[in-house]
Amino acid sequence: MTALSDLPADARLYLRPLWFADSPVGLDGTTARIGDGLIWFQAYEIVARAGGRRILTQIVPVADFDAALAAAPATLRARAEALAAGIATKRPPLSLNGRTIRFDSPQVMGILNMTPDSFSDGGRHQGDAQIAADAGFAMTTDGVAIVDVGGESTRPGADPVWEGDEIARVVPVIEKLAAAGVPVSIDTRKAAVMEAALAAGAALVNDVSALLHDDRSLDVVARAGCPVVLMHVPSAGENLHDGARYADAAFDVFDWLEARVHACLEAGIPRAKIIVDPGLGFGKSLQDNLSILNRVAMYQALGVPVLVGVSRKRMIGALSNEAPVDKRLGGSVALAMQAFGLGAQIVRVHDVAETVQAARVWRGLRDAALSDC
């Protein structure tokens, strides 16, 4: 296949923003924008797949997009237009614990694990809710938008945690943070933990299984009316890393997330309350992770904010002489900067102060680029 006009009507179409521009000034009619952020681009990469295999890759300048689609079958033209609209649509701000989280600039979510065995910081805060809450307060002082509290490790081989124990770990911390007006998310895949955390003051659910692990989770979130992060994993069972089989990881993950967004919409969760996360490191090889991160801009076509978990990932060690977990700060910041530059609205990290600083410098560079034109 060499042209859009040759594609079968049942081909699967994807759009990725390319040819990024510092500013749209002087480029009238030749740029498009990712949401209401500071990322403008001048071309789309159009990819078509059939049977999980790429059958077309074509780069089309933004100015020629409509003309190029005219040759495509009507179903594919409608699909491409919907994807382009998803990229362009403004992401409404979130209101969490009285604070407004906007997406016109990258936001940082800080990780607060109340676990003994998380791969990076297990045991650091477990057993003392006040010390843990103080760590959360320090994150807000450093500039995080959201503190993400979790009570169960999701590392490969981690033992499952009974929901009662998980609730006991997270609720006292959430209560202290929420009482002080801190925007808190609950990192859990269990409906009972979601309910307890929301009652304690959490304002967002971050489910690594995209509301698939627990049959009640979708209904809990829909009834609560809270925002939710849907993360991709290859398995909704106890071991989230099991069963990974990809024809082409970046595109397979896109399809999976699109289906989960649709399921949430069908359940009554509004699009304005949905965030997606491609799940770097969860049942994915180094090449899978690199492909997904390089194509993060493609996930903007889902029309919702994109969160990327880049912090201290194993891929950093694989690319840097097997650097141990506590020596991955540089790689974590590098991945965050890559995500920012491709439009990711949120990054989830352990190293809060350094990542917030990177985000502020990135914003300063973007603002200067606009004013220099």
Of 268, 158, 168, whose CA–CA distance to 218 is shortest? 268
Predicted TM-score (pTM) of this structure: 0.94
Residues facing residue 307 across a β-bridge? 346
Other C-beta atoms lying within 10 Å of the C-beta of residue 213: 19
Question: Domains of the chain by range and CATH?
Answer: 4-88 (no CATH), 94-371 (3.20.20.20)
159 pLDDT band, cuts 50/70/90, is confident
Asked if residues 278 and 258 have their Cβ atoms less than 8 Å apart, the reply is no
Please state the rounded mean pLDDT for residues 311-326: 93
Distance of alpha carbon 110 from alpha carbon 101, whole angstroms? 14
pLDDT at 154 over 90: no
86 pLDDT band, cuts 50/70/90, is very high
- 3-state DSSP call for residue 370? helix
Q: Which two tokens stand for residue 238?
A: 């106890």
Give the per-residue pLDDT at 76.
Answer: 95
pLDDT at 346 over 60: yes
Give the per-residue pLDDT at 160.
Answer: 83
Give the per-residue pLDDT at 84.
Answer: 98
Instruction: Give 236-278 pLDDT, tens digit per residue.
Output: 767 777 778 999 999 999 999 999 999 999 999 999 999 999 9
DSSP E strands, the chain: 12-21, 32-33, 40-50, 53-61, 94-96, 99-101, 107-113, 146-150, 184-187, 204-207, 228-231, 274-277, 307-309, 346-349
Active site residues: 313, 348
